[in-house]
Chains A and B, each alone.
Chain A
Amino acid sequence: MRTGAAHGCIGHVHEAGFYSSDAEFLALIVPFVTDGTAAGEPVIIGYDDRKCELLRARLRRPDLVRFIADTSLYATPAGAIEAYREQFHWCVAAGAEQIRIAGDVPHEGNGGRFAGWDRYESAVNIAWQGYPVYSRCLYDATTVADPVRDVVERTHRRLLTAGSGATVSRRYQEVPDFEPLQRAVDPLEAAPPTVELINPSPRKARHRVAEAARGRVNAATLDELRFAASEAVLNAHLHGRRPVTVKVWTGPDRIVLRVHDTGPGPADPLIGLVPAPGGLAGRGLGLWLVHQFTNIDIDLLATADGFTIRLRAGPLPASSENVAGTGTPHA
């Protein structure tokens, strides 16, 4: 039987809260945890060390909570979705009727980078729908940027504040309707591209990209970039519409790559964040793998003239340039 706000629900119950102090944080998380452990539910916590210690100090039985110490849990959105999914799978196999989770999505206010996690917060409303998950995403109101708060309100059906209870988010967007944050144009793109290819084969594209990137990024990054470029071009040929163009911009230690086709782009809002519906049979896996790489940055951009996969390697521009506000991605 499911408990708390998830009582009587099926699938993932996804709520968010804002706090302005440690006291408010604890007011929002401690009952969530203790109600879960009292009901015999697995409770999985993915916070940083400071928050974990704050929470542990307030629990009579911290041993009943699964604190995930792996700092790579939130390395990538796709990686986090899969890591949690595996946890859910084992919990359900062990007989759990509900699983409670809480963790910190990276954003500029907690030292992270929010780009990409906007899609995550929306996607988990569907990606985990097959599991009895009750999740509570808590954000520090004193540090969260307005664009992040905007995404939180559009991706969680219930919003909480300490002392004020829960309200329904009137701005919630169903997953197919979710509008990701705009992605700023990279400063390197102000100059003409170093490489420009029209309808290249995946092989030619990855060779030219590797040639452009060599000496600018390390070997591990080069491997990821080459793979990603190849997959992006292959997907453009298979699923997009010609012409397929590849443009590359380079800096001393950076590289930006755009693979564009004139098709409408993938219809699946979860593309890249979960394996394609065909499962792990090969099809659709390429983008999912790219989304789990930690040395390159990937953006999927639908524009008026088609669809673009943007890949970036090397140090990214300052964070403020990466969370540019709401609306249809324009970059």
Chain B
Amino acid sequence: MCGRAYPRQVAPFGGAGSVSRPGLRGHTWCLHSDVAEYRRCLAEFFAEGVEDGLRVAYVSSDGAEASRADLAGLGELDRLLAGGALQVLSTRDIYGAAGPVDPERVVTCLAAATEQAVAHGFRGLAVSGDATELVRASAHRDAFARSEFLLDCYMATHPLSALCGYGLELGKDTVAEFAVLHAPGPSNEAPFQVFGCADGAIGLAGEFDQIGVAALGRVLPRLRPADGEVLVVDLAGVEHVDHRLLLMLDDYARSSGVPVSLQSVSPFAARLMELLPLPSLQRAEFEA
């Protein structure tokens, strides 16, 4: 079940403040029932990355030699390793030894790896790792979700793409919460997506009815900005919005004390905002 329904490509270099079309985002996932399934996703993702001129990097806790089994489907491992087209990164180096990850550190490490790939003549970096163990403990999920979001923001303007493995064993609720942080695809039928924009805004795409809003309400607190900063929510990719989304965002702003501002508001969403009392919601712009 590889989450790859879109043409392979390097993450787009979107302009700051703009929302990339979700379909071109290089942040996909592989929802797998076992390691064999993830390995098939991995091989396909890396093969396409190599063909695109990217360095591919596998994040593993087992080291380069032990990772060969996971990478066997890619083929020509020795050649790729020798030429630098394939790299094995340490889970510990990027995600820490134990406990919740440090989201900013994750981005810093992968950004450095991306820059190094470019410096070595590659078009960018395609990275993959299985996140199942990193989110198995519920106490770790907030931080990991935030790292996914921050990576998204980085990917919006840098040549980094990612395939994240998640095991079905995590349970339906956890799977659903992380599904929305990845691009839609065959194994990702989440009705909406939440992603990071180049300007740091939270991008929403898809349909937000009573089911979607409830799920977003669980994800949103994980993405809150630093104290004092405004949480900007970009609605450019929203295909269906109803009052529940606006009321939830207004209520979140009020209850959390985080200022929330909406941008790329459609004429219909703007009309709903006129009809509803939303004292805690700001509007950054109006898009005709």
> Using Cβ atoms and an 8 Å threshold, which residues of chain B touch A292?
275
- B207 interfacial contact with A, CB 8 Å: yes
Q: Which of A219, A220, A286 is the one whose CB lies under 8 Å from B242?
A: A286
Give the distance to chain B from A76, nearest Cβ to Cβ, in Å: 11
Nearest residue (CB) in B for A222 is: B268
Interface residues of B in 199-220 (CB under 8 A from A): 207, 209-210
| B242: A residues at CB distance < 8 A | 227, 230-231, 286
| 22 CB < 8 A contacts A-B | A202-B209, A203-B207, A219-B267, A220-B267, A220-B268, A223-B266, A223-B268, A224-B268, A226-B240, A227-B242, A230-B240, A231-B242, A234-B209, A280-B247, A281-B247, A282-B244, A285-B243, A285-B247, A285-B276, A286-B242, A286-B243, A289-B275
User: Nearest CB to that of B276 among chain A residues?
Assistant: A280
Residue of A nearest to B242 (CB): A227
Which residues from B are CB-within-8-Å of A258? Answer: none
The total of chain B residues at the interface (CB under 8 A) is 16
Q: Tell me if A206 counts as interface (CB < 8 A to partner B).
A: yes
Chain A 275-289 interface 0/1 with B at a Cβ cutoff of 8 Å (1 = within): 000001110011001
B268: chain A residues at CB < 8 Å are: 220, 223-224, 227
Assess whether B272 is interfacial by the CB under 8 Å rule: yes
The answer to whether the Cβ of B277 comes within 8 Å of any Cβ in the partner chain is yes
Complex: A327 Cα to B243 Cα, angstroms: 35
B243 touches A203 (CB 8 A): no
Q: Which of B273-287 contact A (CB under 8 A)?
A: 275-277
| 11 new A-B contacts at CB < 8 Å, known A227-B268, A281-B247 | A203-B207, A223-B268, A224-B268, A227-B242, A230-B209, A230-B242, A282-B247, A285-B276, A286-B242, A286-B243, A292-B275
B191 contact from A203, A219, A234, A285, Cβ within 8 A:
A203
Cβ contact of B243, chosen from A202, A223, A224, A289, cutoff 8 A: A289
**A184 to B191 alpha-carbon distance, docked (Å):** 38
Q: Which residues of B contact A230 (CB under 8 A)?
A: 209, 240, 242
The residue of chain B having its C-beta at the shortest distance from the C-beta of A219 within the complex is B267
With a cutoff of 8 Å between Cβ atoms, the chain A residues found around residue B209 in the complex are: 202-203, 230, 234
Q: Which among A206, A227, A280, A289 is the interface contact of B277 at CB below 8 angstroms?
A: A280
Closest 8 CB pairs of A and B: A223-B268, A282-B247, A285-B243, A282-B244, A292-B275, A202-B209, A280-B277, A289-B275
What is the interface of chain A, defined by CB distance below 8 A to chain B? 202-203, 206, 219-220, 223-224, 226-227, 230-231, 234, 280-282, 285-286, 289, 292
User: CB-CB contacts of B245-288 with A at 8 A, as 1s and 0s?
Assistant: 00100000000000000000011100010011100000000000
State which of A219, A234, A281 has its C-beta within 8 Å of the C-beta of B210. Answer: A234
CB neighbours of B277 from chain A (8 A): 280
| Residues of chain A contacted by B240 (CB below 8 angstroms) | 206, 226-227, 230
**What's the Cα separation between A234 and B247 when bound, in Å?**
18
CB-CB under 8 A from A286, the residues of chain B are: 242-243
Please give, as numbers and ranges, the residues of chain A lying within 8 Å of B275 by CB-CB distance.
289, 292
- Chain B residues whose C-beta falls within 8 Å of the C-beta of A281 in the assembled complex: 247
Task: Name the distance in Å between A327's Cβ and chain B's nearest Cβ.
Answer: 33
A223 to B210 Cα, complex, angstroms:
17
- Nearest chain A CB to B45's CB is how many angstroms away? 30
* Chain B residues in 8 Å Cβ range of A224: 268
Q: Which residues of B have CB within 8 Å of A219? A: 267
CA distance A281 to B277 in the complex (A): 10
The complex places the Cα of A136 from the Cα of B15 at a distance, in Å, of 59
A220 to B, closest residue via Cβ: B267
The CA of A67 and the CA of B240, in the complex, are separated in Å by 38
- B94: min CB distance to chain A, Å: 38
- Closest Cβ of chain B to A239, distance in Å, is 13
| In the complex, chain B residues whose CB is within 8 Å of the CB of A282 | 243-244, 247
Once the chains bind, are A289 and B247 in contact (CB under 8 Å)? no
CB <8 Å contact, B272 and A289: yes
In the assembly, what is the distance between CA of A281 and CA of B254, in Å? 14
CB distance from B216 to the nearest CB of A (A): 14
CB of B145 to closest CB in A, whole Å: 25
A206 to B267, CA, bound (A): 18
* Residue numbers in A under 8 Å from B210 (CB-CB): 202, 234
